[in-house]
Amino acid sequence: MTNNSMTQPSTWRFLAASAAAIAGFALASVAQAGECPADKRGVNVTKPGPMAAAGVSDTVLVATDLSKEKLAVSDHQLRLRRLVIEPNGIVPWHSHEDRPAIIYIISGQIYEHASNCSVPILHQAGEATREGNGTAHWWQNTGKETVVLLSADILHDANDHNM
């Protein structure tokens, strides 16, 4: 008679429960990364910051005119940009009132100073964050490493040169 512990239902249940617990802890840590603590949230709790960019490049990698797509949203573009923020670099104060975006941090770490959070929010490589209506903010690289991020946004005003 062979004793193969992997064929016993209790072993499989234990392994499944362990995997679920590990996945839960991993997902919980990702969900908390780069977020404003609940007790620091508010409306206009951070005042506007720097209005000029410093040590940052903004390159549009690709853009799509949404008026020519099936959803036919006139005067809007979906675009993907790469921002490179040097040490001590600043992405100036701007609003996402009509320009939703999703940011993915490729390398480095950077602080976001958001109007709806009374403390700076640290974003690190491998994290993503969304920017939408109600978000006005500026970003600052206080580290010694260059920060690279991707920004996918929907641009309404072609004259909006905010980052």
Return d(Cα 97, Cα 111) in angstroms, integer: 20
pLDDT at residue 156, rounded to an integer: 87
For 81-121, the pLDDT digits (tens) are 999 999 999 999 999 988 999 999 999 999 999 999 999 99
Total number of residues shown for the chain: 163
Q: Assign residue 55 a region: left if phi > 0, alpha if psi is -120 to 50, beta otherwise?
A: left
Residue with tokens 């005067």: 75
* Dihedral over Cα of 65, 66, 67, 73: its sign: negative
Q: What is the rounded average pLDDT of the residues 41-59?
A: 95
Helix (H) or strand (E) holding 140: strand 136-140
Return d(Cα 78, Cα 98) in angstroms, integer: 13
pLDDT at residue 33, rounded to an integer: 59
Class of domain 40-155: mainly beta
User: Is it the case that residue 153 has pLDDT exceeding 80?
Assistant: yes
Residue with tokens 């940011």: 103
Listed by start position, the domains of the chain span 5-32, 40-155
For 59-83, the pLDDT digits (tens) are 999 999 999 999 899 999 999 999 9
* Percent helix, percent strand, percent coil in the chain, to nearest 5: 20, 40, 40
Return d(Cα 58, Cα 24) in angstroms, integer: 36
Backbone angles phi, psi at 95, to 5 degrees: -115, 155
